[in-house]
Amino acid sequence: MYTLLSGLYKYMFQKDEYCVLILGLDNAGKTTFLEQTKTKFSKSYKGMNLSKVTTTVGLNIGTIDVGKARLMFWDLGGQEELQSLWDKYYAESHGVIYVIDSTDEERLSESKEAFEKMICSEALEGVPLLILANKQDVPNCLSVPDIKTAFSDSAPKIGKRDCLVQPCTALTGDGVNEGIQWMVKCVMRNIHRPPRQKDIT
Ligand code: G3D
């Protein structure tokens, strides 16, 4: 009887926890994306004024629940000197969201360099990768096909891990829901990185 009840309790109240990194160059829109995600997925969260968001220096964190999954986000600073800290978080992560500023063609090669360095890390092998082509609201920005073409020679390094390039406007929330739902689906079925389990009280 005890086993049955404890099984039922766990089924009802246990969440599987997944750590998801939000990476990308400074000014790509990482913090805006995190704020928008928290606003959309946490009923109790009072979103901040997105025009007041400033670039990530250090670390922003956030947690959302989607069904039985609890996603814990770490939004890491993208400035060159902070990129060297990214790999300290790789071993703990179940998913990566890589944000690209689609309006900044000048820094696209810099972004690609940081991206390639990140995906070559053994500690991220098999970890699902969501690439956000952000700021799609800006006229004449790079489209998803443009970004796929620019990043095409990274494909062999991405390998067999789950990967999606998602158009997104973090400022308005367009594409945020689709990206998060995709990430939840991928981390939950990823047998390489089992979730942490947490009883919710
Ligand atoms: P970061 O955390 O990656 O450094 P931020 O980036 O989230 O701080 O965003 C950097 C700037 O890009 C901010 O503008 C923010 O409003 C803007 N931004 C983020 N997402 C979008 C988007 O989808 N569309 C547009 N048009 N702008 C976006 P400021 O002016 O505060 O620097």
User: For 117-171, what is each residue's pLDDT tens digit?
Assistant: 999 999 999 999 999 999 999 999 999 999 999 999 999 999 989 999 999 999 9
Please indicate whether residue 56, judged by its CB atom, sits closer than 6 Å to ligand 1.
yes
Which atom of ligand 1 is nearest to 56's Cα? 2
pLDDT at 200 over 60: no
pLDDT at 14 over 90: no
pLDDT at 201 over 90: no
| Number of structural domains the chain divides into | 1
Torsional class of 140: left (φ above 0), alpha (ψ -120 to 50), beta (otherwise)? left
User: Which of the four pLDDT bands, split at 50, 70 and 90, describes residue 36?
Assistant: very high
> Could you tell me which residues come within 8 angstroms of residue 103 by beta carbon, excluding any fewer than 6 positions away?
135, 138, 141, 142
User: Which of the four pLDDT bands, split at 50, 70 and 90, describes residue 10?
Assistant: low
Please indicate whether residue 30, judged by its CB atom, sits closer than 6 Å to ligand 1.
yes
Residue 17 lies in a domain: no
Which residue is catalytic, options 79, 83, 166, 197?
79
The Cα-based distances of 48 to 26, 65, 91, 110 in angstroms read 19, 19, 31, 30
Name the strand (E) or helix (H) holding 112.
helix 108-119
Residue 10 lies in a domain: no
Position 44 scores a pLDDT of 75
Catalytic residue status for 197: no
Position 78 scores a pLDDT of 72
Residue 156 lies in a domain: yes
Position 47 scores a pLDDT of 67
Residue 12 lies in a domain: no
Residue 171 lies in a domain: yes
Mean pLDDT of the chain, nearest integer: 89
Residue 55 lies in a domain: yes
Q: What is the CATH number of the domain that holds 120?
A: 3.40.50.300
Position 32 scores a pLDDT of 95
The Cα-based distances of 143 to 75, 94, 174 in angstroms read 24, 27, 14
Pull the structure tokens for residue 153. Answer: 């020679």
Q: 81 versus 51: which is more confidently predicted?
A: 81
Question: Annotated binding site, which residues?
Answer: 24-31, 56, 78, 134-137
Residue 95 lies in a domain: yes
Please indicate whether residue 53, judged by its CB atom, sits closer than 6 Å to ligand 1.
yes
| Residue range(s) defining the domain that contains residue 139 | 51-193
Question: Percentage of residues in the chain with pLDDT exceeding 70?
Answer: 86
Sign of CA dihedral 19, 137, 148, 25: negative
Pull the structure tokens for residue 57. Answer: 């220096």
Residue 122 lies in a domain: yes
**What is the pTM (predicted TM-score) of this model?**
0.90
Distance 17 CA to ligand 1 centre (A): 28
Closest-CA residue to 45 (of 65, 30, 59): 65
